[in-house]
A and B are shown apart, each in its own frame.
Chain A
Amino acid sequence: MYLIEKNNVMKLAEELAKSYDLYGPVIDNETKQVFFNKVESASEISLTAEIPALPPKTVVFPQIERITQYKYDKVGKKAEIAMTYDDRSKAIFGIRPCDLTGIIVLDRFFLGQEFVDDVYKEHRKRMFIVSNTCVVPFKQCFCVCTDSGPAADEGYDLNLTEIGDMYLVETGSEKGKAFAEKMGLKPAGDEYIALKKKVIDKSISLFEKVATDNKAWISRIMNRVTTGFIKDEVWKHIGNQCFECGACSFVCPTCSCFNIEDHNRFDGSTDRLREWDSCSFEGYTKMAGDHNPRHPVEDRRNKRFFCKLSYSQSKKYLRPGCVGCGRCQWVCPGDIGLPNVVTYIRREITE
């Protein structure tokens, strides 16, 4: 544990910017919306900005990215093909605990199964992560229910917690430790363990009632979703409200489904693109030649919630798929963000 004065904390980011592409929460000047974006200078980053509208998963799993490029000369029968991975070193500065948990889930999924996803690995392998404890929760946050906040306990190189006019700097890796030493940070005394706990307890006490209310329910509902003991009417009620926009998947820090398309360029070459996809789309499972195994929209809905809230899926992630960021709630044209779905199922159980 180390300490750094609040007005010096951005020096850490400035130092990182020397050896990494620097990413962090940025507030758009015109519209005040917060993005997690690459910055030219550390001064663009705001550590007090609300949770970014865009999940930082875009850094490791962009909305659309070229993974391969090829060119085929049909006449000369000559094909050229090359991987075009993004192999730049990246530092992400000020990621919130829920979003860091999202990256941990993606790591386990993309890197920890039978196959390693090369594209993801390239983004991830030279990364430096600085997380930022949420000393106040934001509206719609419910990470307290999903064990993913308001403070991070793993996955970071450095973790920042605002305590009074200081930031407590914890190290989570050798790389983090070496960096803290290199920066000559002042060691923090043991009293800061208790001080940090106080800050976190205060933060937890500030969560909205629906978040704390649902805390015990998440595991009960995971049980129900896993065993399938949820009435069809509940899924139907949820399905009727699905506008099939895909937004819940796009904004989710742990949704990793993707589509691959070959994009023909004007110059005759082709970009193989991979892009975010969503299991809520009808065409998602559709096969060439008239067959869709997954039909009604409620079926597809329940697929997604199964992915976020079931034991079998959790086995892949070693935790629930939901990290409690609440983004799906505010982008949903229906009223079926994950917290609401929990509420609907809860209502069914209690009735």
Chain B
Amino acid sequence: MSNMDNKIVTLPEIATIEEIKEEIQDVKTFYIKFDNPEVQKNFKWKSGQIVMLTIFGAGEAAFSLPGAPENDRFHLSIKRVGKVTSALFELEPGDKVGIRGPFGNGFPFAEFKGKNLIYVAGGIGLIPLRSSIVHALQHREDFGRIIVLLGARTPNDLMYQNNIEEWLKIPGFECYVTVDQATADWKGETGFVHTLLDKANVPVDNTMAFVCGPPIMFNSVIGELMKRGLREDNILSTLERHMKCGIGKCQHCAIGRTLVCTDGPVYTYKQIKTLGEEI
């Protein structure tokens, strides 16, 4: 059933996995197409939103949408962590899944026009930011500098390496990468991701920063950004929470006085600080 701005709210729509791509260890990207052409045509999302994915026989869970809203194929990049994702990893092209959504607020891109955009991602933290990066690059002229700073545990844990190479061809796109532990053939930087801030000589004025990654990385990056003078309400992140319904009813994703599924998943750091919980 589709209602409310073409959102699939209660009953999952059946879709087919068309293609599966190995990304890094325990992370795969699944390209998905709705079986109903009408639904496929109307399925639109904003950067930063999420969908609920049903794996038949295993259950349902929330995942962020890494595709750009304009012209990307609908896909999900997913790490194997629990029961639902393990069952998903057993599937092959042609298998059916169920989709509900999209849900959540997404990034308010209208407010970013003319600004510099800094993306800082640790490991698979790049997945929820990817949509926004591609979107920004497709509207390159609307923004100032576009900088992507990536950190990963090892070179083998870097998400979307092919994409990054593509993006680097776009004039004015800046990308810096570092790893915690280098491998023998690694020629790039080593060290924590916040060390890239100086290297990139990140701007502070008229700038929005998107930060996503594990809690330790998140806190140190935010600290560094604020030290340089970035304001709390110019730092954005998307939060992940255990989610069951996606429509603000089950309350599993309650954080502070908000619900991640309807009030989030995109929050400013200023909001996050007032939520009164760990990230």
Chain A positions near chain B (C-beta within 8 angstroms): 67-68, 70, 72, 74, 77-79, 81-83, 109-110, 113-115, 117-119, 256-262, 264, 270, 272, 274, 277, 279, 284-289, 291, 293-295, 303, 312-313
> In the complex, what residues of B have CB within 8 A of residue A82's CB?
11
> In the complex, what residues of B have CB within 8 A of residue A312's CB?
257
Q: How far is the CA of A216 from the CA of B14 in the complex (A)?
A: 54
**Per-residue 0/1 for B239-256: is the Cβ within 8 Å of any A Cβ (1 yes, 0 no)?**
011101101111110110
Are A256's CB and B251's CB within 8 A?
A: yes
Are A260's CB and B250's CB within 8 A?
A: yes
Q: How many residues of chain B have a CB within 8 Å of chain A? A: 44
Q: Which of B94, B96, B240, B248 contacts A72 (CB 8 A)?
A: B96
Given A118-B9, A258-B249, CB of A287 within 8 Å of CB of B241: yes
Please give me the residue from chain A that is nearest to B263 by CB atom.
A114
Given A72-B57, A293-B241, CB of A79 within 8 Å of CB of B14: yes
CB distance from B55 to the nearest CB of A (A): 9
Within 8 A of A (CB), among B1-49: 1, 4, 9-12, 14, 16
> In the complex, what residues of A have CB within 8 A of residue B84's CB?
288
Given contacts A81-B14, A289-B82, 13 further A-B contacts (CB under 8 A): A77-B16, A77-B96, A78-B96, A114-B248, A115-B9, A118-B9, A260-B60, A262-B57, A270-B57, A277-B252, A288-B84, A294-B277, A312-B257
Q: How far is the CA of A67 from the CA of B244 in the complex (A)?
A: 13
Are A70's CB and B56's CB within 8 A?
A: yes
Give 3 nearest A-B pairs by CB, closest first: A288-B82, A72-B56, A115-B247
> In the complex, what residues of B have CB within 8 A of residue A256's CB?
249, 251
CB distance from A161 to the nearest CB of B (A): 34
Are B255's CB and A293's CB within 8 A?
A: yes
> In the complex, what residues of A have CB within 8 A of residue B248's CB?
113-115
Q: How far is the CA of A72 from the CA of B262 in the complex (A)?
A: 30
Are B10's CB and A259's CB within 8 A?
A: no
Q: How far is the CA of A67 from the CA of B54 in the complex (A)?
A: 14
Are A74's CB and B250's CB within 8 A?
A: no
Are B279's CB and A293's CB within 8 A?
A: yes
Q: How far is the CA of A109 from the CA of B251 in the complex (A)?
A: 11
> In the complex, what residues of B have CB within 8 A of residue A67's CB?
10
Are A83's CB and B10's CB within 8 A?
A: yes
Q: Is B184 an interface residue (CB 8 A)?
A: no
Q: Is B144 an interface residue (CB 8 A)?
A: no
Q: How far is the CA of A110 from the CA of B248 in the complex (A)?
A: 9
Are B247's CB and A117's CB within 8 A?
A: yes
Given A270-B56, A285-B241, A288-B81, CB of A118 within 8 Å of CB of B252: no
> In the complex, what residues of A have CB within 8 A of residue B95's CB?
74, 77
> In the complex, what residues of A have CB within 8 A of residue B242's CB?
284-288
Q: Is B58 an interface residue (CB 8 A)?
A: yes
Q: How far is the CA of A81 from the CA of B14 in the complex (A)?
A: 8
Are B1's CB and A83's CB within 8 A?
A: yes
CB distance from A43 to the nearest CB of B (A): 37
Please give me the residue from chain A that is nearest to B79 by CB atom.
A289
Q: Is B159 an interface residue (CB 8 A)?
A: no
Are B59's CB and A261's CB within 8 A?
A: yes
**Per-residue 0/1 for B255-279: is the Cβ within 8 Å of any A Cβ (1 yes, 0 no)?**
1010000100000000000000111
Q: Which of B4, B249, B254, B279 contacts A110 (CB 8 A)?
A: B249
> In the complex, what residues of A have CB within 8 A of residue B82's CB?
288-289
Q: How far is the CA of A288 from the CA of B240 in the complex (A)?
A: 10
Q: Is B132 an interface residue (CB 8 A)?
A: no
Q: Is B98 an interface residue (CB 8 A)?
A: yes
Are B262's CB and A115's CB within 8 A?
A: yes
CB distance from A67 to the nearest CB of B (A): 7
**Per-residue 0/1 for B86-130: is the Cβ within 8 Å of any A Cβ (1 yes, 0 no)?**
000000001110100000000000000000000000000000000
Q: How far is the CA of A337 from the CA of B96 in the complex (A)?
A: 47
Q: Is B61 an interface residue (CB 8 A)?
A: yes
Given A115-B248, A286-B242, CB of A79 within 8 Å of CB of B60: no
Please give me the residue from chain A that is nearest to B244 by CB atom.
A260
Please give me the residue from chain B that is nearest to A259 by CB atom.
B244
Q: Is B85 an interface residue (CB 8 A)?
A: yes
> In the complex, what residues of A have CB within 8 A of residue B1's CB?
83, 118
Are B4's CB and A115's CB within 8 A?
A: yes
Show 13 A/B contacts (Cβ-Cβ < 8 Å), sorted by A: A68-B11, A70-B98, A79-B96, A83-B10, A83-B11, A115-B247, A115-B248, A257-B252, A262-B54, A262-B60, A270-B57, A272-B60, A287-B242
> In the complex, what residues of A have CB within 8 A of residue B247's CB?
114-115, 117
Are A114's CB and B262's CB within 8 A?
A: yes
Are A81's CB and B94's CB within 8 A?
A: no
Q: How far is the CA of A312 from the CA of B83 in the complex (A)?
A: 35
Please give me the residue from chain B that is nearest to A226 by CB atom.
B257
CB distance from A272 to the nearest CB of B (A): 8
> In the complex, what residues of A have CB within 8 A of residue B59's CB?
260-262
> In the complex, what residues of B have CB within 8 A of residue A262's CB?
54, 57-60
Are B98's CB and A118's CB within 8 A?
A: no
Q: How far is the CA of A68 from the CA of B57 in the complex (A)?
A: 12
Q: How far is the CA of A230 from the CA of B56 in the complex (A)?
A: 46
Q: How far is the CA of A117 from the CA of B4 in the complex (A)?
A: 12
CB distance from A275 to the nearest CB of B (A): 10
Please give me the residue from chain A that is nearest to B59 by CB atom.
A262
Q: How far is the CA of A287 from the CA of B265 in the complex (A)?
A: 15
Q: Which of B60, B85, B94, B257 contacts A288 (CB 8 A)?
A: B85
> In the complex, what residues of A have CB within 8 A of residue B16's CB?
77
Q: How far is the CA of A300 from the CA of B117 in the complex (A)?
A: 37
> In the complex, what residues of B have CB within 8 A of residue A78's CB?
96
